[in-house]
Chains A and B, each alone.
Chain A
Amino acid sequence: MTSDITPGSHRADPTGPQDDLVAQIAAALPTWLPTQRWFGGKDREITAVRPLAATELPMGPSAGHDVLLLHLVVEVEQGDRREPYQLLIGHRDDQVPDVPATASIPLADGPAVYEASGDADLTCHLLDLLAEGASVDALAFTTEPGAELETGLRGHPISTEQSNTSIVFGGQYILKLFRRLTPGTNKDLVLHRALREVGSDHIADPLGSISGELDGEPVTFGMLQRFMPDAADGWVMATTSVRDFMADPSGLPPGELGGDFSGEAYRLGKAVADVHADLAEALGTREAGRDELAETVDAMLERLERVVGEVPELAEHTDPLVAAFRAVADVPAPVTAQSVHGDLHLGQVLRTLQGWLLLDFEGEPAASVVERASLRSPLRDVAGMLRSFDYAAQQLLVGQPDDDAQAARAAAWAEHNRAAFCDGYAKASGRDPRDQDVLLRAFELDKAVYEVAYEHANRPDWLLVPLASIRRLTTEGS
């Protein structure tokens, strides 16, 4: 795609060519981008930012001429790495927008502009454009078949997200803007559409999307879904139970106490199994043979080797980890592979009044596009969720002095709820994931090794969580 910068056709009286403005913004981004939570390249210096496309979005007759909403795609260069990012740029001539100071992008010599996803007066137009099914230059705003949208709702970004930005409109819709763009229709959108096709009860219905082109390939800029105002996420639900359990003085096991989560964990297990069945129905399955198992072993061993090099605390577990990974080569082949969630944990599931929903089917942020798109064992998702139960159980121990009794209670909570989750999964799918223990354990350990690297780099206090799990997983049953 060229640097094709044309003002939106709806704008009657453009204030002037935007090329200059876009160039100034691009020049300011190398220092501004690293301050944004969603920016994924904080590990390296930005060597250049180049605008790829800028589209001025029409805002209807009600908006004044002194307001600008610009959709901007830039390429961020960090040495040999080049990645496209999406930005919404806002500008107002005579008003101070109600956005945080960090949204402001200081230009060397130009008007006051800011990242506009937090400006409800501007983002409301995104919803209007979706409802109209508008095309603006190369940007296509489309609704999913059968979706009817209410317009005129004001949008507010939710604060908890890491790698993308989501805007909630009037408590009814949520628009997820993908920040780092990948060519091809976004996996999140593809899987949501597939699941909606087969009538899955466990997703928030996709309602629309914003798409365009990047390097001659289609690209998804955003996805609109039904928002669930009555929902609470799985992490909060689970840690509520942990909090209750850890504070209880009676010493009773987790199943005997008021805050028991196992009923929810069981239903969550069923929901995950149902989604796997739906994905298999919609997108098919594939048999992975011995070669692929060998590749999987190699990939896990490679990751282990790398992480042991970075994190000395992991070294003592190397032998049992290697053994656990190698054992995968000997499991009976073939193994069934299919589309999976790819990054499943308690923060990716929502408890609604109708039951559990799964969110964010993009896959692991760190994985490559090819990795994310490839068919994988559904046990990967099970392993991810089992790891999440360990995290939920142990989060109260982080930063506290060692306390064996509390650690044992945390482990009891995790074991109780991991078992309930597997029971639910087995009930719905007819296959108990624990029967494939070699594979499941290897996937869990592989995930834990990844966590070791992540915690070592980002949250050293939390390192004890994956390390304790690795210790437990490699010693139990031996």
Chain B
Amino acid sequence: MSDDQPDLDTAPDAALEGLDDTPHTGEAVEADGTFVEPQADDFAHAEQAPSDPEWFKRAVFYEVLVRAFADSDGDGTGDLRGLADKLDYLEWLGVDCLWLPPFYASPLRDGGYDISDFRAVLPEFGTVDDFVHLLEQAHSRGIRVITDLVLNHTSDAHPWFQASRQDPDGPYGDFYVWSDDDSAYSDARIIFVDTESSNWTYDPVRGQFFWHRFFSHQPDLNFENPAVREAMLDVLRFWLDLGIDGFRLDAVPYLFEEEGTNCENLPRTHEYLREVRATIDREFPGRVLLAEANQWPADVVEYFGDPAVGGDECHMAFHFPLMPRIFMAVRRESRFPISEILAQTPPIPDGTQWGIFLRNHDELTLEMVTDDERDYMYREYAKDPRMKANIGIRRRLAPLLENDRNQLELFTAMLLSLPGSPVLYYGDEIGMGDNIWLGDRDAVRTPMQWSPDRNAGFSRSDPGRVYLPPIMDATYGYEAINVEAQQGSAASLLNWTRQMIAVRKEHPAFAEGEFIDLGGSNPSILAYERRMVGPDGELDVVLCVNNLSRFPQPVELNLAEHEGRTPVELTGRVRFPRVGELPYLLTLPGHGFYWFELTETEDDGERRSMA
């Protein structure tokens, strides 16, 4: 602590825990009250991955919780060095980019999304230097790393907020949205209806109300203030200078407020995103912005920006409504839930891509389904009330699908072939289970299961110290389900997933091709083409046929356009009968699927039999 902070209890950085030995915001203060913040040049910088401006359009993403993946120092909690030690595995699997939920300094009252210092790493995860080490190791394997960044708000423990409440006239006095009463912006909905009764909370220190769209311990930053806008750009620059490959921008629709609106998706929010994007393009080309906007696709496309210039806001956005509909379609044995939402999805600018996922660290998100569908999803997938949380279902993929290998493969095949860059959730590649008896959303955040050894090979610590107990039940426990065993078994889900990722990468149409729903008279079959003209001028056509029913099904596909081409199955390279003018008949086993490429026939000796 420096000498010009007389009262330790009210020092702006007093709420920061465990950062005594590392550079952090608020440990030193300029004469005018401005904090001396850590600068990127205080640290080493990582070498960049090979240049490829549109890498994100083809990448296979892997969401990994630092806490849950690997513990390098034996304290029972996963850390950045532990994650770096497992990069060989991720490279082997075929992962192109890691998505790390926040690893910043935080009081952890909202899973790390309550950031108390944007320029420091949560001490239990390591240091900024450890992060640079992770980047360096990842980039040397061609793996990129993005992380969450919350622009909208900070933790109330952030020195900015502490300074703002204590000194309304100081440099941070206008960093948050303060008001003398709680009447403004009354048209904005309350997002966390279970815990919050208002978007305003009274602060006795400053004697005013502060605005928060999320929890009352997460005050919203005041983006009207140019100093805030610049300070957040500097946060981005800090990590980009170190070598990070991009950000998933959390809660982007809420940056600005405006009376008489619902304070979501306002034009000024988009204007700021364009400013952020321009900064990236100018100073850090090839790095990406991924919007987290849990909205209908027609609204989300706004976050890609102007299509005339290929998009000038975020490079990527999650397609939220697709995921619950994949589950619904299979339970209904009907393609319509999927076909409908994709038909309602507008085209996106050239330089952009969707992110799609089956599961992530949050519950199965149900905001984007109708009430009717939500009741249905609850009934179908959450037979135990404990599995419901807020408005979602907190299960992992394998238990959601009752550990049915055929369905696991079908779902994964759809994830890898529907339009968008797939995001895998750590552990789902081996079919990990969940622990619904853990509180909050921890059910799906248990330690990665590496081996049948103590603590699932995740940590050398005393089992009692592990941050959450590894799954130990008979079906999903780490003795049965772990990376080591599955790497050694050719027929394992892990090896199957790896093979499918590899197949996906052989055909750029999977990633960037146009999506064409083939429809057809059998509603249980979802068949679609992905097609693109490659840089060599060759047409790459991939045909995906999915049986959403548990029963075997026939389907007649209208492939007349491809008459004369030969479907070649992509995992075994088996040639199927040539496409003729009449409907193409296929039969699929229950929950079966095919991936074909449609090739011009190469065998000159092959002749159509004459009638």
**A interface, CB within 8 angstroms of B:** 96, 98, 120, 154, 156, 170-171, 228-233, 236-237, 240-241, 243-244, 247, 256, 258-260, 263, 351, 353
Q: Which residues of B contact A232 (CB under 8 A)?
A: 336, 520-523
Q: Is the CB of A237 within 8 A of B611?
A: no
Contact with A along B304-346 (1 / 0, CB 8 A): 0000000000000000000000000011111010011001000
Shortest beta-carbon distance from A342 to chain B in Å: 24
Q: Is the CB of A243 within 8 A of B380?
A: no
Q: Which residues of A contact B611 (CB under 8 A)?
A: 96, 98
Contact of B379 among A96, A256, A259, A263 (CB under 8 A): A256
Residue of A244, A256, A351 with highest tally of chain B CB at under 10 A: A244
Q: Is the CB of A233 within 8 A of B549?
A: no
Q: Which residues of A contact B331 (CB under 8 A)?
A: 258-259
Shortest beta-carbon distance from B93 to chain A in Å: 31
Q: Is the CB of A236 within 8 A of B523?
A: yes
Give Cα A260–Cα B334 distance, bound, in whole angstroms: 11
Q: Which residue from chain A places its CB closest to the CB of B328 in the assembled complex?
A: A258
Shortest beta-carbon distance from A270 to chain B in Å: 13
Shortest beta-carbon distance from B526 to chain A in Å: 11
Q: Is the CB of B582 within 8 A of A230?
A: no
Shortest beta-carbon distance from A311 to chain B in Å: 34
Contact of B332 among A229, A231, A256, A259 (CB under 8 A): A259
Q: Is the CB of A263 within 8 A of B336?
A: no
Q: Which residues of B contact A260 (CB under 8 A)?
A: 332, 376
B372 at interface, CB cutoff 8 A: yes
Q: Is the CB of A240 within 8 A of B523?
A: yes
Shortest beta-carbon distance from A402 to chain B in Å: 24
Contact with A along B380-397 (1 / 0, CB 8 A): 100000000000000000
Q: Which residues of B contact A263 (CB under 8 A)?
A: 372, 376
Segment 514-542 of B: residues with Cβ below 8 Å from A? 517-524
Q: Which residues of B contact A170 (CB under 8 A)?
A: 560
Shortest beta-carbon distance from B62 to chain A in Å: 30
Q: Is the CB of B521 within 8 A of A236?
A: yes
B551 at interface, CB cutoff 8 A: yes
Give Cα A243–Cα B558 distance, bound, in whole angstroms: 25
Given A240-B523, A240-B549: A230 and B334 interface contact (C-beta under 8 Å) = no
Contact of B523 among A98, A171, A256, A351 (CB under 8 A): A351
Q: Which residues of A contact B521 (CB under 8 A)?
A: 231-233, 236
Q: Which residues of A contact B549 (CB under 8 A)?
A: 240, 243-244
Q: Which residues of B contact A229 (CB under 8 A)?
A: 518-520, 558
Q: Which residues of A contact B517 (CB under 8 A)?
A: 230, 353
Shortest beta-carbon distance from A427 to chain B in Å: 13
Shortest beta-carbon distance from B370 to chain A in Å: 10
Q: Which residues of A contact B203 (CB under 8 A)?
A: none
B581 at interface, CB cutoff 8 A: yes
Give Cα A170–Cα B518 distance, bound, in whole angstroms: 13
Q: Which residues of A contact B330 (CB under 8 A)?
A: 258
**Residue contacts A-B, CB under 8 angstroms, 18 given:** A96-B611, A98-B611, A154-B560, A156-B581, A230-B517, A231-B519, A232-B336, A233-B521, A236-B521, A240-B334, A240-B523, A241-B333, A244-B549, A247-B550, A256-B379, A258-B332, A259-B331, A353-B339
Give Cα A232–Cα B520 distance, bound, in whole angstroms: 7
Q: Is the CB of A156 within 8 A of B340?
A: no
Q: Is the CB of A243 within 8 A of B372?
A: no
Q: Is the CB of B332 within 8 A of A156?
A: no
Give Cα A170–Cα B560 distance, bound, in whole angstroms: 8
Give Cα A243–Cα B380 distance, bound, in whole angstroms: 17
Q: Is the CB of B581 within 8 A of A353?
A: no
Q: Which residue from chain A places its CB closest to the CB of B524 in the assembled complex?
A: A240
Q: Which residue from chain A places its CB closest to the CB of B381 in the assembled complex?
A: A258
Contact of A353 among B343, B520, B560 (CB under 8 A): B343
Q: Which residues of A contact B343 (CB under 8 A)?
A: 230, 353
Q: Is the CB of B339 within 8 A of A230?
A: yes
Given A96-B611, A243-B551, A260-B376: A237 and B339 interface contact (C-beta under 8 Å) = no
* Other 9 A-B pairs with CB < 8 A, given A240-B333, A258-B333: A120-B581, A154-B560, A154-B581, A230-B343, A232-B336, A232-B523, A240-B334, A259-B331, A260-B376
Give Cα A172–Cα B568 distance, bound, in whole angstroms: 27
Q: Which residue from chain B places its CB closest to the CB of A232 in the assembled complex?
A: B523
Give Cα A120–Cα B581 distance, bound, in whole angstroms: 10
Q: Is the CB of A258 within 8 A of B380?
A: yes
Residue of B340, B376, B521, B582 with highest tally of chain A CB at under 10 A: B521
Q: Which residues of B contact A240 (CB under 8 A)?
A: 333-334, 523-524, 549
Q: Which residues of A contact B558 (CB under 8 A)?
A: 171, 229
Q: Which residue from chain A places its CB closest to the CB of B379 in the assembled complex?
A: A256
Shortest beta-carbon distance from A359 to chain B in Å: 13
Q: Which residues of A contact B524 (CB under 8 A)?
A: 240
